[in-house]
């Protein structure tokens, strides 16, 4: 008999799917690394389990311990699944910008959810960065995951996502395009791919209101680049240790409206029911079209599932309120 011993064994080995209509104007073959097939419906399951296993191995996480993380939802889901299978308590600290479904889902899988204001500075004691750190200090036998600076995040993608893409494309991949938040996905996959073939180009998708693109181009951390934005999952107002700017060839920024509109287009034109950052990645890829030729194989990674966005991106009233729909 062939079966998984628990849900964690079903993580990874996700399909690579051709994008057809939406990529018509691109001369290259465009393939989506379709990460919603993971049990928590996002790529983040991979790094969640890796971070836990590395923390168990060196004693940072002990039996019966409490896992604490400031998470926008997907990492929390991955951590919560692993916490159930492995017998830990899970606390997610989340910003109030995140969708209500994401919070409900985390509670459904046994996580305690603490909601913090989004419109405060990262070093404000009310921010989700500060709150998660403080909780970790106050809670006995707890471990603060810190996905932004935890090297196991990048390592997970170096060990699993990168090799899968290389194998699935039989080494023919020429470009990798992906949204950047903590930087774990782009840095791990990008490092692995460049080690196999240094000519592979790695493109990051950023959002207006985030510091990555400007920092990559100028080396300057420009606070004027920071302002509130709607796109979920990508962009930052900090420089996480997991973003390896050296392996990234360039960034392109996508507007909130375009990210939302293209998320819908993926569902309507490709049957790909995905999250907000997938729309940003798809539109970003189209913005980069002059970089691709007919012999290229472009892989774009789609991080998470549409079910977490039904009250927002997939809701006409919400889209109209944002001015994203006429």
Taking CB under 6 A as the rule, does residue 234 contact ligand PMP? yes
Choose, by CB under 6 A, the member of 12, 70, 184, 279 that binds ligand PMP: 184
- H or E element in which residue 27 lies: none
Choose, by CB under 6 A, the member of 253, 303, 305, 312 that binds ligand PMP: 303
Place of tokens 């012999």: 295
Taking CB under 6 A as the rule, does residue 185 contact ligand PMP? yes
Q: Is 254 helix (H, G, I), strand (E, B) or coil?
A: strand
**For the chain, what is the radius of gyration of the CA atoms?**
19
d(CA 35, CA 41): 7
What does 264-316 look like in DSSP terms, one character per residue?
HHHHHHH---B-HHHHHHHHHHHHTGGG--TT-EEEEEE-BBGGGGTTTTT-H
d(CA 48, CA 27): 36
Residue 29 or 79 with smaller CB distance to ligand PMP: 79
Q: Mask 269-298, x = binds ligand PMP (CB under 6 A)? A: ------x-x---------------------
Least distance in angstroms from the C-beta of 87 to ligand PMP: 25
Choose, by CB under 6 A, the member of 103, 135, 180, 259 that binds ligand PMP: 180
Choose, by CB under 6 A, the member of 40, 162, 179, 284 that binds ligand PMP: 179
What does 48-105 look like in DSSP terms, one character per residue?
HHHHHHHHHHTTSS-TT-EEEEE-SSHHHHHHHHHHHHHT-EEEEEEETTS-HHHHHH
Least distance in angstroms from the C-beta of 250 to ligand PMP: 16
Window contacting ligand PMP (CB under 6 A); options: 80-88, 108-116, 184-192, 248-256: 184-192
Choose, by CB under 6 A, the member of 41, 72, 174, 252 that binds ligand PMP: 72
Choose, by CB under 6 A, the member of 12, 78, 183, 284 that binds ligand PMP: 183
User: Do the Cβ atoms of 276 and 232 come closer than 8 Å?
Assistant: yes
Residue 29 or 324 with smaller CB distance to ligand PMP: 324
89 is known as an active-site residue: no
Residue 65 or 78 with smaller CB distance to ligand PMP: 78
Size of the site for ligand PMP (CB under 6 A): 16
Least distance in angstroms from the C-beta of 5 to ligand PMP: 27
Which residues are bridge partners to 297 per DSSP? 29
Least distance in angstroms from the C-beta of 316 to ligand PMP: 22
d(CA 279, CA 231): 9
Give me the catalytic one of 44, 155, 201, 283: 44
The number of beta carbons lying within 10 Å of the beta carbon of residue 323 is 9
d(CA 266, CA 241): 31
d(CA 188, CA 243): 9
How is residue 17 written in tokens?
Answer: 């799917």
Taking CB under 6 A as the rule, does residue 74 contact ligand PMP? yes
Window contacting ligand PMP (CB under 6 A); options: 20-28, 158-166, 175-183, 262-270: 175-183
Residue 72 or 131 with smaller CB distance to ligand PMP: 72
The set of catalytic residues is 44
Which residues form the interface with ligand PMP (CB under 6 A)? Answer: 72, 74, 179-186, 233-234, 275, 277, 303-304
């Amino acid at each position: 008999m062939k079966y998984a011993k628990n849900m964690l064994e079903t993580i990874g080995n996700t399909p690579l799917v051709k994008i057809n209509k939406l990529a018509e104007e691109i001369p290259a073959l465009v393939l989506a690394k379709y990460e919603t097939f993971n049990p928590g419906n996002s790529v983040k399951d991979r790094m969640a389990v890796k971070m836990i296993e590395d923390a168990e191995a060196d004693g940072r996480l002990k039996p019966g311990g409490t896992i604490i993380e400031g998470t926008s939802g997907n990492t929390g889901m991955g951590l919560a699944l692993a916490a159930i299978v492995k017998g830990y308590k899970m606390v997610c600290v989340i910003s109030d910008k995140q969708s209500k479904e994401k919070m409900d889902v985390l509670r459904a899988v046994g996580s305690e959810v603490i909601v913090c204001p989004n419109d405060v500075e990262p070093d404000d004691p009310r921010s989700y960065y500060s709150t998660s750190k403080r909780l970790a200090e106050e809670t006995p036998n707890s471990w603060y995951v810190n996905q932004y600076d935890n090297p196991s995040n990048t390592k997970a993608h170096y060990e699993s996502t990168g090799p899968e893409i290389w194998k699935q494309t039989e080494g023919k991949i020429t470009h990798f395009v992906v949204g950047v938040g903590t930087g774990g996905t782009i840095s791990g996959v990008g490092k692995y791919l460049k080690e196999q073939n240094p000519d592979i180009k790695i493109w990051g998708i950023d959002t207006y209101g985030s510091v990555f693109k400007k920092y990559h181009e100028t080396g300057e951390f420009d606070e004027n680049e920071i302002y509130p934005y709607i796109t979920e999952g990508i962009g930052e107002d900090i420089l996480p240790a997991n973003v390896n700017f050296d392996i990234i060839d360039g960034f392109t920024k996508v507007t909130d409206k375009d990210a939302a509109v293209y998320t819908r287009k993926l569902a309507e034109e490709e049957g790909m029911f995905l999250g907000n950052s997938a729309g940003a990645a798809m539109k970003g890829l189209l913005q980069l079209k002059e970089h691709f030729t007919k012999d290229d194989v472009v892989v774009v990674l789609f991080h998470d599932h549409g079910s977490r966005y039904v009250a927002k991106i997939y809701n006409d009233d919400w889209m109209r309120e944002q001015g994203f729909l006429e």
